[in-house]
Amino acid sequence: MKYGIYYAYWEDKWEADYFKYIEKVAKLGFDFLEIACTPINGYSRQTLKDLRQAAKDNGIFLTAGHGPSADQNLASPDAATRRNAKKFFTKLLKNLETLGIHSIGGGIYSYWPVDYSKPIDKPGDWARSVKGVREIGKVAGDCGVNYCLEVLNRFEGYLLNTAAEGVKFVKEVDVPSVKVMLDTFHMNIEEDSIGGAIRSAKGLLGHFHTGECNRRVPGRGRTPWHEIALALKDIGYNGNVCMEPFVRMGGKVGEDIKIWRELEPGITEAKMDADAKAALDFERIALEGVR
């Protein structure tokens, strides 16, 4: 498996100077850096190529994460919104191809964070989303990108809350580049069995997020890492494992992730780096027994 980290651990916006984080995570020993898609469609072709080259020069690769805004919602009942979403994702996927990115994951079949003050039409949104994801999934395939649908807990999403729903949805879409994505943080809330959830996604799991139940770095909480390791081994998962810790309050990231207390009070960037490195060493040993 390949081990990465989401840049937003260190940042409070859904965009950053990714050149800085490419160098940082390469030095810490990660195989890849996951970046947010928010700024990507605004980058020049040269910047896209420079980022690709920077990753290559540092011996890592890039993956992408995205929480679509309400106007990028493939499941929307509003036809103009669905058209806008398709336009956005088509452009984004072409840019990901230029970046040399082969995986995008997140609630990219809906929008995020969900506005629960509005009524929810799960069956209608499901049907519209299957259609939209089928279309965009084919574009992703043409761009060499896996389109990974992240199963989210009930407070953040309503279409895919369990691995079983993720598998059902991906089978309905029936496009090879469209995959299921699981995250230990969300599974902790929704699944009867975390190992069972992972096993149910055999052959369809495209990306895997890790974090503790309170989103501390892996190894600092009560997530059942051994159970997860055995299940990933059982299904022969050989893909990307991206840790997605969030420990600091503030900014749009703190607001969207709902961080209302400092999980590591007074933490410095140097300590965050050391914690990420320790979590990487922990994951390699806990999930594969590798030092």
List contacts with Mn ion (CB under 5 A): 183, 209, 244
Q: Give the C-alpha separation, 291 to 62, whole Å.
A: 23
**Comparison of 31 and 183: residue with beta carbon closer to Mn ion:** 183
DSSP E strand boundaries for 163-219: 178-183, 205-210
Q: Give the C-alpha separation, 228 to 211, whole Å.
A: 12
- Closest C-alpha among 232, 225, 209, 222 to residue 285: 225
Q: Which of 34, 97, 165, 244 is catalytic?
A: 244
- Closest C-alpha among 125, 196, 145 to residue 167: 196
- Closest C-alpha among 118, 124, 109, 127 to residue 72: 109
DSSP alpha helix (H) spans, 191-261: 194-200, 225-234, 251-257
We find the least distance from the C-beta atom of residue 98 to Mn ion, in angstroms, to be 25
190 is catalytic: no
We find the least distance from the C-beta atom of residue 244 to Mn ion, in angstroms, to be 5
- Cβ(52)–Cβ(18) below 8 Å: no
Q: Give the C-alpha separation, 278 to 27, whole Å.
A: 13
Q: Which of 11, 150, 156, 212 is catalytic?
A: 150
We find the least distance from the C-beta atom of residue 6 to Mn ion, in angstroms, to be 8
**Comparison of 132 and 245: residue with beta carbon closer to Mn ion:** 245
- Cβ(199)–Cβ(167) below 8 Å: no
244 is catalytic: yes
**Comparison of 48 and 105: residue with beta carbon closer to Mn ion:** 105
We find the least distance from the C-beta atom of residue 116 to Mn ion, in angstroms, to be 19
Give the count of beta carbons closer than 10 Å to the beta carbon of residue 202. Answer: 14
Q: Give the C-alpha separation, 40 to 52, whole Å.
A: 12
**Comparison of 48 and 62: residue with beta carbon closer to Mn ion:** 62
We find the least distance from the C-beta atom of residue 105 to Mn ion, in angstroms, to be 7
**Comparison of 58 and 153: residue with beta carbon closer to Mn ion:** 153
We find the least distance from the C-beta atom of residue 79 to Mn ion, in angstroms, to be 30
DSSP E strand boundaries for 90-235: 103-106, 146-150, 178-183, 205-210
Residue 35, beta-bridge partner list: 64
**Comparison of 109 and 128: residue with beta carbon closer to Mn ion:** 109
Catalytic residue ranges: 150, 244
